[in-house]
Amino acid sequence: MSEEEKKIDRIAALPRSEQIERTLVKEFDIKLWRKFIKAIAEYHLVLAGDRICVCISGGKDSMLMALLFKHLKRYSDVPFDVHYLVMNPGYNDLNLQVIKNNLKTLDIPATIVETDIFDIANSTSEKPCYLCAKMRRGALYRIAKSWGCNKIALGHHYDDVIETTLMNMLNSGSFQTMLPKLHSDHYEGMEIIRPLYLIREEDIIAWKNFNHLRFIQCACRFTENCAICDNGGGGSQRYNTKLLIQELKEKYSPMVEKNIFRAASNVNLDMILSYKKDGQMVSFLDHYEEEGKRNDERIRAEGLEAKAEAKAMAEHRPLKVDESFEAEKKE
């Protein structure tokens, strides 16, 4: 038996959870593991002494994030603690069992905490989705705080970021994006972090399919009929935005996705009508006259007007009035 064959046999003998975890740094090293590590380093998401609550909804994104944290915890030089949470808002039995099965398959030591969020949200006809999302976020904060955690890790990825940016522009008339981390407005010392920030959704799907994994798609009671279809479909505004981006990529430019992402870190405030800072609106008119005076002083000090005139005369023939048109005006 060759060395390669022995290696294959050794891998095949590993428990399935270890085989799947191994793919993170083998087949998907560049597209998943390295991007996960890059986001953590670039945005300072995990620091020494952190106690991180990794939130698992049961979908492909959060399950992958949990496995990435499990691998990071095992090999990281930075000392931190990690706790895995499945906050059950009221999943039906089938969805909950799918989640439990996947936790066992990936060997994720998660704690499942039951809540009545779906019952409350579904009892109102007024914006149940908004109410559900608000209560779920609140529950995550309360549980994480009770566990002594200072950070909550959510599974939003690169595609979520660009979709959110575009949705805010098209639906809210505002330019704001999904940040890689932010402070809680209601819980002292608590932060939200998004370690999948640089990872593409298509690569998560490729990892899922490569390992023959199946996760819940949507656990909402309004859409339970598609809960385990796991096909990425749906009729939501986010899904429509996803289709729009794909169309723009095909018909407008293959760089559309990257440029939407880059736009959020390449904002020129000098060319913005107004922006909000610390809850206060700042208009370009607030300092317009002041900046005009400073600009004029710079033009005079550097002789820019004379330089511009000299450059134009050197590069172009003299300006000439169209006298035939002037004659027509007199007539």
Is the domain of 83 the same as that of 218? Answer: yes
Inside any domain, residue 312? yes
Chain centre to alpha carbon of residue 314: 51
Is the domain of 296 the same as that of 220? Answer: no
pLDDT at site 327: 65
**What average pLDDT does the segment 284-288 reach?**
94
- The model's pLDDT over 160-173, given as tens digits with 9 standing for 90+, comes to 999 999 999 999 99
- The model's pLDDT over 229-245, given as tens digits with 9 standing for 90+, comes to 444 444 578 899 999 99
Distance CA 81, CA 17 (A): 21
pLDDT at site 108: 98
Q: What is the pTM of this model?
A: 0.87
Q: Taking Cα atoms as reference points, which of 154, 152, 151, 150 lies closest to residue 164?
A: 154
Inside any domain, residue 246? yes
pLDDT at site 315: 94
Output the CA torsion sign for 257, 261, 266, 267: positive
More confident position, 113 or 221: 113
Q: Among residues 228, 243, 267, which one ends one of the domains?
A: 267
- Count Cβ atoms within 10 A of the Cβ of residue 229 and give its class: 0-12 exposed, 13-18 middle, 19 or more buried: middle
pLDDT at site 124: 72
Q: Among residues 248, 267, 286, which one ends one of the domains?
A: 267
Is the domain of 172 the same as that of 295? Answer: no
Q: Taking Cα atoms as reference points, which of 281, 72, 21 lies closest to residue 193?
A: 72
- The model's pLDDT over 114-143, given as tens digits with 9 standing for 90+, comes to 998 888 877 776 667 777 888 889 999 999
**What average pLDDT does the segment 292-296 reach?**
96
Helix intervals (H) in the chain: 3-13, 16-25, 34-42, 60-75, 93-106, 117-121, 128-146, 158-167, 201-210, 237-251, 256-263, 288-302, 304-315, 323-330
Inside any domain, residue 172? yes
Is the domain of 261 the same as that of 290? Answer: no
- The model's pLDDT over 36-67, given as tens digits with 9 standing for 90+, comes to 999 999 999 999 999 999 999 999 999 999 99
Name the domain count of the chain: 2
- The model's pLDDT over 312-329, given as tens digits with 9 standing for 90+, comes to 999 999 988 888 876 666
Inside any domain, residue 2? no
Q: Is the pLDDT of residue 228 over 60?
A: no
Is the domain of 201 the same as that of 61? Answer: yes
Q: Is the pLDDT of residue 284 over 70?
A: yes
Residue 279: give the domain boundaries.
Answer: 275-317
- What CATH number has the domain bearing residue 115? 3.40.50.620
Coil, helix or strand at residue 88: strand
Is the domain of 161 the same as that of 284? Answer: no
Distance CA 325, CA 108 (A): 81
Look at the chain and count its residues: 331
**What average pLDDT does the segment 11-29 reach?**
92
pLDDT at site 226: 41
Q: Among residues 267, 288, 306, which one ends one of the domains?
A: 267
Residue with structure tokens 């385990």?
A: 228
Is the domain of 221 the same as that of 292? Answer: no
Is the domain of 259 the same as that of 280? Answer: no
Is the domain of 263 the same as that of 279? Answer: no
Inside any domain, residue 152? yes
Q: Is the pLDDT of residue 205 over 90?
A: yes
Inside any domain, residue 328? no
pLDDT at site 133: 82
Inside any domain, residue 322? no
Distance CA 91, CA 26 (A): 34
Q: Taking Cα atoms as reference points, which of 124, 152, 156, 159 lies closest to residue 138?
A: 152
Distance CA 107, CA 16 (A): 9
Is the domain of 123 the same as that of 256? Answer: yes
Band the pLDDT of 225: cuts 50, 70, 90: very low
pLDDT at site 223: 53
DSSP string, 279-301: TEEEEGGGGHHHHHHHHHHHHHH
Inside any domain, residue 329? no
Is the domain of 60 the same as that of 155? Answer: yes
Q: Are 141 and 180 in contact (CB under 8 A)?
A: no
Is the domain of 93 the same as that of 110? Answer: yes
